[in-house]
Structure 1
Amino acid sequence: MAAHERPGCLLLADADPVSREQRGRELAQLDYHVWAASSLGEAFAIITAEQPHFAILDYKLSDGSGVSLIPRLITADPAARIVVLSCCATFQGAVTALRMGATDFLARPAETAEIDAILRKLSDECRLSGAADSSLEAVTRRHAQEILRIMTDDICATARVLGIDARTLRKLLART
């Protein structure tokens, strides 16, 4: 059996180590066989060796754009399902990714359940029913809350990780 025929073989290319580790665990619980990469070089090696059928790509990796992985993924598996994530999403970036063959383009941090629904080709009704508020502020707040949880409720450490002032973080977390 070829590597890409394994059910759920997925490339997760994400520059953020905290996000990569957490999303990798969540995807593994959903029965994906996750291959994680932090750079284009690591991702290219995984594509060559594993030929993943699914991919979640960070728009900005340490050594370039995750979008540049799309042609190689599609060459390895023409039916590949690819989701691109970006914290600095632009209309042009989304259009470029979709034209190159991405299945979808989402703002970070996107919910793993929504990504899973896209990868499994579930209907929009399934994807959006009960979906959390996806406004930029709500998405930013959820990301900050997750980092805060990982940092064991240490506001100062979380603020450092996020690159913001602790007072700003407290204000963001206080909004509902």
Structure 2
Amino acid sequence: MTDTAHNQDAIGADTSLLLVDDDKPFLHRLARAMEARGFSVTMAESVQDGIANVRHNPPAYAVVDLKLGDGNGLDVIEEIRKCRSDTHMIVLTGYGNIASAVNAVKLGAIDYLSKPADADDIFGALTRHAGEKAPVPENPMSADRVRWEHIQRVYEMCDRNVSETARRLNMHRRTLQRILAKRAPR
């Protein structure tokens, strides 16, 4: 069986996929990757666009970023659940915490992935059957790497402004500069 045929079997007849993320480069890369795997992709860059797309054509699958420029991605998840009860939904976030993961699952998300998640992880989570457990990662990130990734996300969110990043992280500016000057831990 070819990869395309296998993907089509995993997806099913309704291939509609809504991607909601305000990171344009990531959104477009993920859209191309999901189209290559057999999905019919619709993209939205905000909560408002996501909700409008859901109301127009509720998708069979959805990948929604938790933190969007105009609000919370959980609002999109909630709207999807109102319009269609069988949608397979994944929440992506760079700002993971247990409370938001629990909330996403309560609203109907089937999985919760931290960024950076690759297309294979997302495809696997979308097509996983009910009750099937996610595989344990072969090389989980170290605590130092998780901390470094978080600092990098906040730094980018602050448009690479060291002073603002240090303020948001409640960290001394010089300490932050030393961390940013080092290589990423493994």
TM tier, smaller: 0.7 to 0.9
**Could you tell which deviates more after superposition, 67-76 or 127-136?**
127-136
- For normalisation by structure 2, the TM-score amounts to 0.69
Is residue 62 of structure 1 aligned with residue 74 of structure 2? Answer: no
Q: Of 19, 40, 59, which residue of structure 2 is paired with 1:33?
A: 40
Q: Of 33, 42, 49, which residue of structure 2 is paired with 1:42?
A: 49
Return closer, same or farther for 1:119/1:172 CA change in 2, 3 Å cut-off: same
Q: Is the 8 A contact 1:85 1:108 kept in 2?
A: yes
- Which residue number corresponds to residue 150 of structure 1? none
Which amino acid letter does the alignment assign opposite residue 17 of structure 2? L
- For normalisation by structure 1, the TM-score amounts to 0.72
- Identity, in percent, stands at 24
Is residue 163 of structure 1 aligned with residue 160 of structure 2? Answer: yes
Deviation above 4 Å: which 4+ runs of structure 1?
129-132, 138-141, 159-162, 164-170
Q: Is the 8 A contact 2:81 2:107 kept in 1?
A: no
Shift of 1:171: 3.8
Which amino acid letter does the alignment assign opposite residue 60 of structure 1? K
Return closer, same or farther for 1:160/1:69 CA change in 2, 3 Å cut-off: closer
Q: Deviations over 1:107-165 (max 9, x none)?
A: 111122121112112543xx537755445627977xx9xxxxxxxxxxxxxx9797388
Q: Secondary structure at the match of 2:78?
A: helix
Q: Deviations over 1:24-49 (max 9, x none)?
A: 11111111111111101111111112
Which amino acid letter does the alignment assign opposite residue 35 of structure 2? A
RMSD: 2.9
Return closer, same or farther for 1:131/1:14 CA change in 2, 3 Å cut-off: farther
Structure 2 CA distance for aligned equivalents of residues 20 and 71 of structure 1: 21
Structure 2 unpaired stretches of 5+: 1-11, 163-176
Shift of 1:168: 6.1
Structure 1 CA distance for aligned equivalents of residues 99 and 156 of structure 2: 31
Larger Rg: 2
Is residue 18 of structure 1 aligned with residue 25 of structure 2? Answer: yes
Is residue 172 of structure 1 aligned with residue 183 of structure 2? Answer: yes
Return closer, same or farther for 1:131/1:113 CA change in 2, 3 Å cut-off: farther
Equivalent residues in 2 for 1:124-163 (5 A)?
124=133, 127-128=134-135, 133-135=140-142, 137=145, 163=160
Q: Is the 8 A contact 1:109 1:140 kept in 2?
A: no
Aligned length: 153
Q: Deviations over 1:78-131 (max 9, x none)?
A: 01111001101111111111111111111111122121112112543xx53775
Structure 2 CA distance for aligned equivalents of residues 47 and 16 of structure 1: 19
Q: Is the 8 A contact 1:59 1:86 kept in 2?
A: yes
Q: Secondary structure at the match of 1:102?
A: coil
Structure 2 CA distance for aligned equivalents of residues 53 and 169 of structure 1: 41
Return closer, same or farther for 1:90/1:49 CA change in 2, 3 Å cut-off: same
